[in-house]
Structure 1
Amino acid sequence: LEHPLSKVRERGKSSKLAGEVGVEMLECIRRFHEMGYIHRDIKPSNFCVPSDRSRPFECRILDFGISRKHIEKGKVRPQRESVGFCGCVIYASPQAHEDRELSRRDDLWSLFNVVVILSETVPWISEEARKDRDLTYQMKKAFLERKDGTKYFERYPMMLEFKKHLDSLDYEDKPNYDLVKDSLLALAQTNPPHPSSSSPHPSAAAAAPPVIAVAEIDASSTPPASSSLLSGYPPSPPSPSYEIAQEEEEEEEEEEE
C-alpha cells in the first residue's frame, strides 16, 4: 500500500476532489456494512490508494481495531444506552459526541465530515478545538444548523441533501447509499480541482476515471485485524506510507486525549 488518503488534505480545498474521494470511501463503507459490520473510525488516514499506476485507482479501507458486528442473523444488534466516545473527534458523528451507540449512519456522518473538511475551511480542525471535544461538537452543531456564517449548504445544496438524509436515520435504519453517492457525484461536478489536487491518487492522471472500490471479506468471519486491508487486492506488506498513516492516527488519538 501507498499514499494514505489523509495526504489529500495537504492539497487545499476542492469540492471536486472532496466529491471524488467521498465516492471512493463510500463504496468501501457500503461493502463493509453489507458484511454486517460498522467501522466506527472513518477518517482519511484509514483509507489508502495504490501507488502503482499500472493498477486501477482503488480506495482501500483499513484499521478495524474498533469495528463492531452490527447485524447478526439478519437483525441489528440491540442498542446500548451509553457506550462512551468512540472514533476521532474531528470526524465524529453527533451520536458519538453524545456517547451514544453507533450504527451505519455514524460511519456516514464521519464520511460527511471528511467531505466537508476537504471542501471547506472549518473551525473544528483548529488546535484548540481538537483538544476540547465539547468545543468541537458546538462548532459542528453551529455549522450543521447553518449558524456559523459560512453559507456552505447554500453553495453546495447537494451536501444539504446528504445531511438531511443522515438526520432522518434512526439507529437501526439502513442508509440510502445511492442517495449519498448521487450527492457526492454532484459535488464532484461543482468546480475545477485545486491546482495541486487534480486526483485523489497522488500520481494518477487527472482525466483517468476512477474504478469504484470493492471489498472482499467472508461475511461469517470477524473483521480483519487492525493491520489488515479491505479491498479488491490481495494483502501486501506495510510500506513507509502506511507507517505514515499509522503515525498520523496515533497523533490524532493523542490530540483527542
Structure 2
Amino acid sequence: MDLNADLGEGFGVWKLGDDEALLDLVTSANVACGFHGGDPSIMRAVCAAAADRGVAIGAQVGYRDLAGFGRRRIEYRRAELRDEIIYQVAALDGFARVAGDRVRYVKPHGALYNTAAVDEVQAGAVVDAITDYDAGLPVLCQPGSVLARLAADAGLRVVGEGFADRAYLPDGRLVPRTDPDAVIHNSAAVADRVVRMAVEHTVVAADGTVVPCPVESICLHGDTAGAVDLARRVRASLLDANQTLASFA
C-alpha cells in the first residue's frame, strides 16, 4: 500500500504543514505546482527532500487559484485547462530533475479533483495533459470516477486513491468540504478506516453504507491539524496489519 500526502503547499513566507516530517512517513509526495499553492523555491526544496528519501514525486495540479487554495470550482475550456496542467507538470518535473529524479505521477488537487470525478470536460483535460506530456505517468484519482474511466480508455495507468481523514458519501464520492463533518478528526477512527481500506477494500460512508473502495494509495492531508501525528498512527496501523508500504510509482 502507498501512503501519499499533499506537500509544498506554502507560498513565499507562508508555511503550510510540516513537509520534512511527513516525507519521513509517506511513500509518495503530491507536490503543489504553484497554482493553488507552492512557489519555485518550495517546489525545488520539496523535490530535493523527497528525492533524498526515495519518496516518489507526483505533480499535484490544480486551478490557478492561490487565494482560494484551489478549492473553488473554475470553469475552463478543455484545451485551456489541458495547457495549464501541462505547465504545472513540466515546472515540477524541472525541479525534480534538478534533484536527480523526475515526476512519477499526476494527481489533481481540490476542486479540480472533485470536478474531474464527475465532469467529462475537465476530466478529459487532465487526460489530454498527461497523454501529451508523458503517457507513461499514472494518474492518481478516485476509483469509479469519470477521470478514472477516461484515463483508462486513453491507455493511462489509473491508481485508485482513498482518503484517510475524509468522510464519504454513499455513492463513493467525498463529502463536500462545506459540510462541517467532511473531515474526520478522531485519529483512532481514521486509523481503523485506513486498515479497512487496505485489507477489505471498503469504506463506511457517512450514513453507514459500506462502499467499495479498491485503492492502491491512501492520502493524508498535510494541512490537517495534527497531520504528522496522524500520519505516524496511520503508518503504524498499516504495518501492524501486515501491509507493505511502498510507492506505486
TMscore range, shorter length: under 0.3
When you count helix as a share of all residues, which structure comes out higher?
1
Q: What is the TM-score with the length of structure 1 in the denominator?
A: 0.26
Q: What is the TM-score with the length of structure 2 in the denominator?
A: 0.27
